[in-house]
C-alpha cells in the first residue's frame, strides 16, 4: 500500500479513528468515560466482528442460494434438500450427502471471505490511526511499513481462501453428475480458481 492509497483510507476512516497523539486518553461524549485510539479501533473491530458472526449464523441456519444468475431460483437447505423455485427435488441419501458437503464448502468460503472483510476493516482503522498519529506527532517514519505488514497478513488469508476452491469445484461437479436438476447451477470452472489468486 502506497501513501497515495493510504490517504483515501484515512479519509474514509477519519470519523472512526483517533485524533489524539498516540494512545492519549479522551472522553467519549456518550458515556463520559476515557477512550483511546486503540479502544476506538477495538470497538470498530468488535462491531464488524459482531456483524460477521450474525451473518455466519444466518448462513448456517438459512437456505443457501445457488442460483448464480439463473432465472429459476435454486437453494440448498440446512438439511441438504435442493429446492428449485421452492419445491424440493427428490434425492437419495448419497445425493443429500453431496448437497450437504457442497453447502459446507460454500459456508467455508463465505466464512473465510467474512474474516478477510473483518481484517480489512481493522486494517482501515489501523491505517487511519497510524496516519493521524504521524500527523499530530510529526513522526511519519515507518507508517507505510507497519500498514504493509498488516496488509500482507490479509493477502495470506486471501491465498488461503483460494485453496478451498478446487475442492469446492470437485464437489460441485460430482453433485451436478449425481443430481441432474443441479447441473444448470454448477457454473464454477477452472478460471474461477485461476483468477482467485489475482
Ramachandran assignment for 2, one of left (phi > 0), alpha (psi -120 to 50 degrees), beta (any other): beta
* Cell, residue 175: 453433485
The pLDDT value given to residue 136: 66
Backbone angles phi, psi at 35, to 5 degrees: -130, 170
The pLDDT value given to residue 175: 96
The pLDDT value given to residue 39: 53
Burial 40-68 (b: 16+ CB within 10 A, else e): bbeebbeebeeebeeeeeebeeebbebee
Q: At what angle do helices 93-137 and 165-178 cross, to 10 degrees?
A: 150
The pLDDT value given to residue 126: 72
pLDDT under 70: residue ranges of the chain: 1-45, 48, 68, 70, 125, 130-143, 146, 197
pTM given for the model: 0.63
**Can you give the residue ranges of every domain in the chain?**
3-61+104-196
Amino acid at each position: 500500500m502506497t501513501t497515495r492509497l493510504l490517504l483515501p483510507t484515512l479519509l474514509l476512516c477519519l470519523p472512526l479513528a483517533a485524533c489524539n497523539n498516540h494512545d492519549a486518553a479522551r472522553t467519549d461524549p456518550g458515556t463520559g468515560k476515557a477512550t483511546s485510539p486503540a479502544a476506538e479501533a477495538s470497538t470498530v473491530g468488535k462491531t464488524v466482528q459482531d456483524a460477521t458472526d450474525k451473518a455466519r449464523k444466518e448462513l448456517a441456519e438459512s437456505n443457501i442460494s445457488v442460483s448464480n444468475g439463473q432465472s429459476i431460483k435454486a437453494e440448498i437447505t440446512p438439511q441438504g434438500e435442493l429446492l428449485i423455485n421452492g419445491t424440493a427435488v427428490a434425492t437419495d441419501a448419497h445425493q443429500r450427502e453431496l448437497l450437504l458437503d457442497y453447502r459446507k464448502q460454500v459456508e467455508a468460503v463465505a466464512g473465510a471471505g467474512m474474516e478477510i472483510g473483518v481484517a480489512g476493516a481493522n486494517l482501515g482503522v489501523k491505517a487511519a490511526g497510524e496516519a493521524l498519529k504521524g500527523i499530530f506527532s510529526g513522526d511519519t517514519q515507518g507508517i507505510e511499513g507497519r500498514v504493509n505488514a498488516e496488509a500482507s497478513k490479509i493477502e495470506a488469508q486471501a491465498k488461503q481462501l483460494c485453496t478451498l476452491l478446487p475442492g469446492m469445484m470437485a464437489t460441485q461437479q460430482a453433485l451436478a453428475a449425481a443430481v441432474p436438476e443441479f447441473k444448470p447451477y454448477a457454473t464454477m470452472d477452472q478460471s474461477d480458481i485461476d483468477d482467485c489468486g489475482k
